[in-house]
């Protein structure tokens, strides 16, 4: 440490040695003094008349000039700042402000929509081994007593989810996986009132369900928004019943569109970063106008809670399904009967089901589908979504390429079988 300090001082001194020359060495100083003494002696030996200032009376100093006058400082009001030069024409302009501001609070939106959001509790009877009769008592009088005993010991499985009212008469939208297998459904309104609900219909392909409650007075409800107008980066408000705690809201943005989770032919999810947790399924996702633009359906959860990756079914898919469920209690989806493979900007027909709609319509193996009803088809998933969204007996126009030649076919869509694969 002491050596380092010494080196630092040395560096400091070395740096200053260049700016300020060192004093002369002692020998040099002595020589300078000797020269000065010799000069003084020479001066004394010289004629004194040549140096009157040294030996005679000193003359009077010359008169000093008067100090110049300082002009007064003008007041600040009269000081004029010169004009600045104009900005040259070629100077780059600032880009426009794309995001003016975020919402300072979501409270007005929450107060408007939260009365229409409901909590859903379900009970389901579990029959784990209840119908399995031990072989030693099967066919004996003990079998009946055994069955009665097992029936009394059946367990009820409890579940929770969310939903929202879309009609003042008590029509509620939720997920199929929330209420599809329930024996009893109970709806809790935002005011704490509990009402039993009955199942109107479910659609497993889109994971949409409709239930209904009876209320003596009209219930608050919300309206559908247009999910096609939702952009990535838009604000979103998610409401629901996470972990069964009751009504709550979270906010975030739309992270992506068109997510395919492999759940079905109509997969076209909105990815949301608003926290979605178990119990939020079936709840609504609102735009900033208080319209439902998605139904919460799934989340990525490595640890069982939200990690900011949730998925909602767009309203453009849910709303027509809900109308069909209210009208018919079920949904009939379109079916083509083909096996597909992705190509470069088109979809190739790999196989055609015997006596299916595709075969009856004239589709052949190796045909390439470029568009349906004028809309380009880029991949097999897009074609399956188009067919599944169509109604049975609808006629669609297929633009094809067959043996490098363009072809157009009008094909009547069939009804999707219950056991059909995507």
pLDDT at 37: 43
Residue 309 pLDDT level (bands cut at 50, 70, 90):
confident
Lowest-pLDDT range, 28-37, 282-291, 383-392?
A: 28-37
| Cα 207 to Cα 175: distance, rounded to the nearest angstrom | 5
Give me the pLDDT at residue 78, please. 66
Q: Which pLDDT band, with edges at 50, 70 and 90, does 307 fall under?
A: confident
Angle CA 48–52–55, to nearest 5: 65
User: Mean pLDDT over residues 40-49, rounded?
Assistant: 42
How many percent of the chain have pLDDT more than 90? Answer: 47
If one compares 418 and 83, the residue with the highest pLDDT of the two is 418
Which of 82-86, 100-104, 405-409 has the lowest average pLDDT? 82-86
Distance CA 109, CA 221 (A): 14
What is the residue-averaged pLDDT of the chain? 78
Closest CA to 222 of 335, 382, 126, 113: 113
- What integer pLDDT is reported at residue 76 of this predicted model? 58
Per-residue confidence band for 28, with pLDDT thresholds at 50, 70 and 90? very low
pLDDT digits (tens, 9 = 90+) for 329-377: 999 999 999 999 887 778 999 999 999 999 999 999 999 999 999 999 8
Q: Please write down the long-range contacts of 338-342, taking CB distance under 8 Å and 24 or more positions apart.
A: 338/363, 340/380, 340/383, 340/384, 341/380, 342/379, 342/380
Amino acid 91: pLDDT: 55
Active site residues: 177, 207, 281
pLDDT at 348 (0 to 100): 92
pLDDT computed for residue 406 by the predictor: 94
- pLDDT reported for residue 83: 61
- Nearest residue to 390 via CA among 361, 368, 367, 352: 361
Reported residue count of the chain is 422
Q: Give per-residue pLDDT as tens, 404-420.
A: 999 999 999 999 887 77
**pLDDT class for 30, splitting at 50, 70, 90?**
very low
The more confident residue out of 39 and 184 is: 184
pLDDT at 29 over 50: no
| pLDDT tens profile 154-202 | 656 678 899 999 999 999 999 999 998 888 999 999 999 999 999 999 9
């Amino acid at each position: 440490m002491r050596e380092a300090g010494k080196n630092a001082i040395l560096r400091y001194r070395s740096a200053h040695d260049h700016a300020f020359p060192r004093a002369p060495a002692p020998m040099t100083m002595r020589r300078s003094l000797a020269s000065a003494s010799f000069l003084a002696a020479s001066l004394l030996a010289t004629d004194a008349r040549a140096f009157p200032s040294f030996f005679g009376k000193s003359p009077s100093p010359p008169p000093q000039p008067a100090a110049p006058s300082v002009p007064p400082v003008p007041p600040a009001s009269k000081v004029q700042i010169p004009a600045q030069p104009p900005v040259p024409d070629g100077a780059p302009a600032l880009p426009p402000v794309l995001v003016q501001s975020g919402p300072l609070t979501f409270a007005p939106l929450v107060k408007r929509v939260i009365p229409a959001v409901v909590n859903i509790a379900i009970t389901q009877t579990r029959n784990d081994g209840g119908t399995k009769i031990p072989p030693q008592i099967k066919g004996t009088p003990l079998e009946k007593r055994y069955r009665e005993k097992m029936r009394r010991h059946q367990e009820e499985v409890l579940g929770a989810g969310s939903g929202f009212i879309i009609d003042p008469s008590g029509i509620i939208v939720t997920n199929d996986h929330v209420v599809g297998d329930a024996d009893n459904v109970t709806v809790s309104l935002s005011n704490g009132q509990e009402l039993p609900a009955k199942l109107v219909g479910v659609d497993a392909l889109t994971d949409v369900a409709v239930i209904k409650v009876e209320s003596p007075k009209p219930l608050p409800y919300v309206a559908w928004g247009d999910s096609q107008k939702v952009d990535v980066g838009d604000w979103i408000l998610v409401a629901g019943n996470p972990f069964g705690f009751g009504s709550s809201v979270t906010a975030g943005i739309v992270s992506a569109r068109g997510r395919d989770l492999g759940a079905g032919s109509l997969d076209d999810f909105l990815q949301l970063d608003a926290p979605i947790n178990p119990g939020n399924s079936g709840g609504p996702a609102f735009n900033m106008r208080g319209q439902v633009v998605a139904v919460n359906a799934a989340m990525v959860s490595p640890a069982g809670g939200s990690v900011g990756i949730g998925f909602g079914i767009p309203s453009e898919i849910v709303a027509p399904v809900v109308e069909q469920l209210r009208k018919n209690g079920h949904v009939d989806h379109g079916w083509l009967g083909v096996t597909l493979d992705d190509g470069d900007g088109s979809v190739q027909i790999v196989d055609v089901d015997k006596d299916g709609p595709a075969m009856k319509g004239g589709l052949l193996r190796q045909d390439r589908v470029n568009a349906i009803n004028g809309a380009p088809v880029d991949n097999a998933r897009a074609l399956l979504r188009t067919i599944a969204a169509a109604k049975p007996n609808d006629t669609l126009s297929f633009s094809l390429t067959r043996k490098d030649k363009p072809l157009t076919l009008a094909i009547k869509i069939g009804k999707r079988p219950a056991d059909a694969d995507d």
